[in-house]
Each structure stands twice: as C-alpha cells, then as structure tokens.
Amino acid sequence: MINPMDLLRSNLSRVRIPEPTNRIFKQECCISFDTPRSEGGLFIDMNTFLAYGKDCVSWNFKKTGNPVYLHIKQTRKLVPEDRPSKKPTLLAIGIEGGFDNSEAEYEETHNIVILPDYVTLHFPSVELPEKVRLAVDAILMAEGAERKEQVAAWTADKKQTSACAMNLQQIDNGVIVPPSGWKCAKCDKRDNLWLNLTDGMILCGRKNWDGTGGNNHAIEHYKETGYPLAVKLGTITADLEGADVYSYPEDDSVLDPLLAQHLAFFGIDFSSLKKTEMTTAERELDQNTNFDWNRIQESGQEVEPLFGPGYTGLVNLGNSCYLAATMQVVFSTQSFCLRYYMNQTLKSAFEAAPADPTVDLNMQLTKLGHGLLSGKYSIPALEKEDNANAATTTDTKQEGIPPRMFKAVIASSHPEFSSMRQQDALEFFLHFVDQVERAHSGKPDLDPTKSFKFGIEDRIACSSGKVAYNKRLDYILSLNIPLHEATNKEEVEAFHKLKAEKILEGKDVSSDEIVRPRVPLEACLASFAAPEEIHDFYSTALKAKTTAIKNAGLTSFPDYLVLHMRKFVMEEGWVPKKLDVYIDVPDIIDINHMRSKGLQPGEELLPESGPEDEAESNVPVANEDIVSQLLLMGFNHLHCQKAAINTSNTGVEAAMNWLLSHMDDPDIDSPLSQQSQGATIDQSKVDTLISFGFQEAIARKALKASGGDIEKATDWIFNNPGASASSDMDATSSSIAQTPVDSGPTDGGGKYRLFGIVSHIGTSTQCGHYVAHILKDGRWVIFNDDKVGASVNPPKEMGYLYFFERLNS
C-alpha cells in the first residue's frame, strides 16, 4: 500500500497556490447547499478552488481528474446564555455593522484528502510539502468568493458625494418640469428617463445589449454638452433619499447634497415638505430588525413550523426577499419542478456544466430546485445540530438555504438585481423568465417558462367601420384597480369623513377604524377587457388620424396565469403612492369570456399601409385646447402646435415654457409636414438589430412597424416569428391577424384555481418586504424567507402578484 505522503507528493502538480485574483469558494458547495457545517463537511479542489459536498466531490474528481482537496469541517460550540447581542446599524446581513446571522460559534478542523480513496492527512503538519502548506494557508486566509461578492455588492451601494454637485451650473432657460407625462426629448421613450440638472433636458437612458432600455440620448447629450449630472425621473421622493443621481464624468451613481436646490431650479420645490415619517432606510432597518409585523406575515398567529420536501426556506441575503418569495412560487409549479428536479439530477447538470458550474444558470437552477424540493435541508435546526445547544435554544425553525450562487448568475446581466437593494418582485419575475427562455433558445420543448406564456390580441375599430388585429405575447396580465368599483363605497366615505373630523381635532385614526376600499378581482379583469379610446389613431382607410376603440382579449390560456395588481401610482407633486386597497380574490376564477374571437364574419380589415400612410401616421398631433390657449396669449399658430407636440401635450404651462426657450430655433418656422417627410429608417438602428442576429430585411420591417423604436422592433420580431420581409406589413396592418402568435404558448380551458400569492409590505417596491403564500397539499403555507409554516389566515386580499393554475376540465 502506498504511503499517504508519497501519494500526495506524486500529485503535487495538481495543486496550485492561489493568486490574489482567484475566486476561492469555501462556504458552500457549488452543486448543492452543503457547507463546512454539513455532516460530510466541504471539500475544496486545490486546483480550481471550487468547493464540493461529500456527495459531489467524487463527480468532480471523475470530471476533472483533480485528486487533492482541502477538507473543512465545522462543529458547533455552545453559546453562553449571557452573551449580549449587537444592535445593527447597516442594512446588511453577515457583515460588519449589519445583522449578525452567525451568532453560533464553530470549531473548525482541516485535512488534506486525496481521491479516489479518500486518503486523509491532517493539517497543519510540518511533514506536508511546502507547496501544500502554502496553498492551504492562502485558501484559509483568503476571503471566500461567496462573502467577497456579497460585501462588494453592499460596498458598491455606498454612494459618494459627487465632485460636480457643489459648483453645478444651471442654465436659466425657463424649463419647468411637470410631475408626470414625461417623454424623451429626442425619441418616444416614456420610461428610463433622466433629467439633466444643468439644462432641464429629459432624455432616455442607456441602451442594453439586447436593444431594451433607452436609446442613449442622455449620455449622448452629456458628450455633446459636458453637463455632468442627471437624476432619474420616477425615483424622486419627498425625502429625496431614494433619488438616483448619476454623474457622467465620474461614471457612477452619486450623492448630490444640493439636490433639492437643483430640482427647485426646474420647478420641483421641496422646501415646503417636512419629514413626517421614517426615511426609507430607517423604515427598512426597523422592519428588518423585527420581521414579524403586519397582517401579511400573520403576526400574532401561532404558525406551525413545517419541514420536509417542498417546505425549505430561503435565507435572506440582504434585501433578497423579492427573489425568495418569487422563486418559492415558481418552484411550486409542475413545469419547473419537472425541469429542474424530477427530470434532472444534480450529477447530470454538473456533467453538462462548464468548468465553473457557479456561473451556469442550468446548474444553479437545478441546485436551487433540489435544495427547495428534496427536503434535505428542511429539518428543524435542533435536529440538524444534534441538540448541540439544546440548553439555550428553544426555537424549532429551519436554517434555510442561501440562494447566493443562483442570485449571482441570474443577476449578472442586470445592474439592479446584482445590487443588494430591494427590488420589484414583478420586474424580477419577468427578468428571470426572460433569462430562462434565452437559455432554452435551442431546445424550446424543455423550456418551463412556456407554461406562463400566453397571447394577447387587441382589436382596433376605427370610425371607418373597419378593424385591425394586433397580437403579442406576455407572461403576466397586468391589471388596473378600478377604485370606483369598490363594493364598500359607503363605508369608505364614512371613514374618510371620520378621518377628516379626527384630523381637525388633532387625533389619529386607530388601526381598527381604518376602512379600505374592496375591489372585486372580476372588476379588475373587466377593466382589462373594457373598450379603450385611442386618440390620434391613423386610419389607412380614412387616410387621416381619428379616434379608434380598442378591445383586448387573450388568444390562449396558459398553464399558469400570473396577475399583477397595479398598486403603485405617481401622485401630483412627484410622490409615489401605493394604493391602500383590498382585492377580493376568489379561489376559483373563470376567464373563458376573455378569449379573443379574432376576425368575425362581416368584419372588414383595414387596408395595409403604404409609404404615404406611414409618413402621415408618424406626424404628431397637437392638443387643440393647448394650442387655442397659447393663441390667446398672442403666439403664432404653428409655434403653438410645435410647443404642444414637443411637450407631449402635457399642458399649457409646459408648452409655453418650451416656446419661450425655442423662439430662436432655426427651424421654428418650418412646417410640421417637412419634419416628417424626411423621416427614414435609421441605418444605425438596422445595424443594431443585425448585431442581435436578425436579418436586415426583417430588421427594417420591424423598425418600420415600430416607428423606429429598437425595443418595440425587437418585441415585434419575437411576437411575429412567421413574418417575412416580402409581406411589407405595417404595425396596424390587418395581415397581423393572420400570423400565428407562436407555437410555444400552451392553451386550454379558462378555469383557474389560486395557488400562490406574493404580497408586499411597504410604501414602495424598492423598500419593505415580500412574503409568499402557497397552496400545498391542500393547505396554505407561508414562506417568509427562511421561515416556513402553516398559514392560519392567508392575506388573499393583499396580494401584489397572484398565481393561478389551470383546472383540467
């Protein structure tokens, strides 16, 4: 039998001493959620510095041939009962100043293990080769890649004061920014807009690699002018703390100590606003210190802890509850359970993964699926620790699994989700679905996201009596909440009267007295399908713009229907508001009446548009009320039209301010028609779509159908896979009605059962807390990060996202 030391020396070529730039994993297995505290400890490959649990290390040896591993095992120590706890000062978990999620102390042992026979050598030992000793010391002294990435994300969120802020020059050009109705001054983008703090220009943000986002107009404006600071519209709140200010010369998000003054310059005045409640950070800190608050978390209820397969909690990595709540519901669907658990083993996913499995989405989704559904990590903490600290521990809760590797992979292409800030669960769900769908581009039959996909058809009827049909695909049905449809209007009115009286008396309304509007879900669904007027619709039949009526319906019913309740709105005064409303959601819904019927007998389609129609349809129309009021002030009619158009018809004041600052423009007297006649497809936009892999003819056609907007053109291509370059159809063309939506979406009956709810606590999607409630094994279960228990009173009326599963008819 070979001597263990000789065996180690014979494999020294497979041992590397890590460099400072190497990522060293030593907290968690890259294939499972085993840690040094697991029964088998953790094995670190001394060549790649990737970590593996006891069940997985042999797979790595077979795949790579690397035989030498550092084995780390941690055993729990007793914790003194009288040890004081530290008060957190930072919204972080597991780092200095943050929440301490590792109160227990552990004793750590180290060994060198050589596979395949698991020959073991104790460390430290002077008999070990110097190269091995140096390598182990470097591994143990280095900060683990898992922790390093988490700390880096928190540190990255600490904004610095901009060097440009204190001496920022602002141009007095008469610009007054309205509280809503914003639009990029150089394109049609109405989201991802930035206000330049020097000249008040509102421009769109950067373009993402896939054509989404903005059109780079804000940064191009900086390159042309050198004006350094911009604030993102929609992030400005009354206390200004959440405002996203970007410095172009410093190429980073920054703090602007004079932001209130800089905003007031453009008519956004905060001087009269007083702080009447906690700041976002204070509120988050207060709520993160005590998670058991509010009805959504069923505080005050005796919740029975649950353990076993499908009842595994997810550790909060620091404002990651949006991810936890969403993924708990996603992995409660049969499609994701089959794809990443039942039909794929950890071993097969690892064998198919690249050299570094920590960056492979398929591997990390399989790891997450097995972690959540196997039940391996869903056992009471006392049992897991073999009663090591039974004398001082009374809780019977599970520790949960930390989804840090999954989060790193899924967020790698998204700057917000890769931060440690709170995020919108809806935005994360859509981003997640998009990434999974992209990963299955070559094997759509395996794509589990198609169970969420459905088709929407808009029927547009213009005053000519002719119709057009437009189709698109989506994964969520986003619903407005019609407060006027509340079923308890009298009670709400009485409450508001009582509240006004108490305010006059200087008294507060107690929580027991609060009455919220109750709106039936049926009313929200009806609002989606209700007729909607479209102003300035260009009719190819009338050769003119007119008012059309749009009706929406579904062309297919998915296996799982996700409803998004639009609870967040922007009030006058730039203040984001969350609607304080209850939604009465039944357990069973039937949406068969929402199925679109398509072209009906006797209906005549709008004719396809020609070049002259497109030119006319792109001509913007000024609001006549604004124009007439400006005319009364003595301005030229053409100038008034341009002012209204260039301010997106937002109002008289905005139009007047634009007019006063553009009177000397060289093209101020050019006819409106001349500005549109020269409109052609931008070749740079064609080239951008070609770089995405689309054919030039299809790219031109999509841009033509989308008014030159790259993001809309990309959506158009994906939503019209059967389109060919020769058909030359317009976005409003009737021939879209004859194009199949896609073979991907599933379809069936329209009867659904509620099985999942993602609820939100807080005043904004960027703060607060998310909790999931899921119907499992005939009972409702609450998933509150790592806390899993039988729900006593699920908050069905307070959901932000509702998940329904189709019933087999």
Structure confidence by residue, pLDDT tens digits, 730-741: 322 222 233 333
pLDDT for position 189: 86
295 burial via Cβ count (<10 Å: 0-12, 13-18, 19+): middle
Mean pLDDT of 212-230: 90
d(Cα 502, Cα 516) in Å, to the nearest integer? 17
Determine which helix (DSSP H) or strand (DSSP E) holds 639, and give its type and residue range.
Answer: helix 637-646
Location of structure tokens 């790592």: 786
pLDDT for position 724: 42
C-alpha distances (whole Å) from 323 to each of 283, 316, 327, 328 are: 20, 9, 6, 9
Catalytic residue among 29, 164, 184, 321: 321
d(Cα 425, Cα 702) in Å, to the nearest integer? 31
Sign of CA dihedral 701, 705, 708, 711: negative
Whether 187 shows a pLDDT value over 70: the answer reads: yes
d(Cα 407, Cα 180) in Å, to the nearest integer? 34
The token pair at 559 is: 């296996």
Between 806 and 608, the more confident residue is: 806
Between 12 and 297, the more confident residue is: 12
C-alpha distances (whole Å) from 469 to each of 57, 77, 295, 453, 740 are: 57, 68, 44, 19, 12
Of 474, 459, 409, 401, nearest in space to 435 by CA: 409
- Place 241 in a pLDDT band, splitting at 50, 70 and 90: low
Helix 425-439 and helix 321-330, axial crossing angle in degrees, nearest 10: 50
640 is known as an active-site residue: no
**8 Å CB contact between 710 and 703:** yes
Of 432, 427, 434, 437, nearest in space to 478 by CA: 427
Strand partners, 775: 780
d(Cα 181, Cα 179) in Å, to the nearest integer? 7
Whether 221 shows a pLDDT value over 90: the answer reads: yes
Of 32, 72, 26, 21, nearest in space to 49 by CA: 26
Catalytic residue among 370, 431, 564, 769: 769
Helix 637-646 and helix 624-632, axial crossing angle in degrees, nearest 10: 130
Query: Which of 92-101, 430-439, 682-691 has maximum average pLDDT?
Result: 430-439
The number of C-alpha atoms within 13 Å of 577 and in the hemisphere containing its C-beta is 10
Determine which helix (DSSP H) or strand (DSSP E) holds 142, and give its type and residue range.
Answer: none
Whether 381 shows a pLDDT value over 80: the answer reads: no
pLDDT for position 256: 92
- For β-strands 42-45 and 51-53, DSSP reports them as antiparallel
Count the Cβ atoms, other than its own, within 10 Å of residue 561: 22
- Place 561 in a pLDDT band, splitting at 50, 70 and 90: very high
d(Cα 645, Cα 630) in Å, to the nearest integer? 13
d(Cα 803, Cα 746) in Å, to the nearest integer? 16
Q: Spell 195-218 as b/e; 16+ CB within 10 A means b.
A: bbbbbbbbbbbbbeeebebbbbbb
Angle, CA of 618, 621 and 624, to the nearest 5° = 175
Determine which helix (DSSP H) or strand (DSSP E) holds 42, and give its type and residue range.
Answer: strand 42-45
d(Cα 801, Cα 809) in Å, to the nearest integer? 25
Task: Mean pLDDT check: name the lowest of 127-141, 427-441, 467-481, 670-684.
Answer: 670-684
414 is known as an active-site residue: no
**DSSP assignment, residue 663?**
T
Mean pLDDT of 703-727: 57
The number of C-alpha atoms within 13 Å of 198 and in the hemisphere containing its C-beta is 16
**8 Å CB contact between 576 and 570:** yes
**DSSP state letters, 243-297:** --EEETTTTEEEE-TTHHHHHHTTT---TT----S--HHHHHHHHHH----TGGG
Mean pLDDT of 513-524: 92
Q: In what order do the strands lie in the sheet with 467-474?
A: 467-474, 454-461, 544-554, 532-539
Determine which helix (DSSP H) or strand (DSSP E) holds 371, and give its type and residue range.
Answer: helix 361-373
Mean pLDDT of 352-369: 96
d(Cα 139, Cα 150) in Å, to the nearest integer? 18
pLDDT for position 503: 81
Residues sharing a CB contact under 8 Å with residue 632, sequence separation 6 or more, in sequence order: none
Residues sharing a CB contact under 8 Å with residue 763, sequence separation 6 or more, in sequence order: 283, 576, 577, 578
Of 791, 760, 758, 795, nearest in space to 776 by CA: 791
d(Cα 314, Cα 316) in Å, to the nearest integer? 6
Tell me the average pLDDT of the chain.
80
pLDDT for position 208: 60
pLDDT for position 506: 79
| 743-802 pLDDT tens trace | 468 899 999 999 999 998 876 666 778 999 999 999 999 999 999 999 988 999 999 999
Rg of the chain taking only CA atoms, in angstroms: 30
How much of the chain, in percent, has pLDDT values that exceed 70?
74
pLDDT for position 684: 66
Sign of CA dihedral 214, 216, 222, 225: negative
| 390-404 pLDDT tens trace | 434 435 678 899 999
Mean pLDDT of 47-74: 97
| 248-264 pLDDT tens trace | 998 888 899 999 899 98
pLDDT for position 56: 97
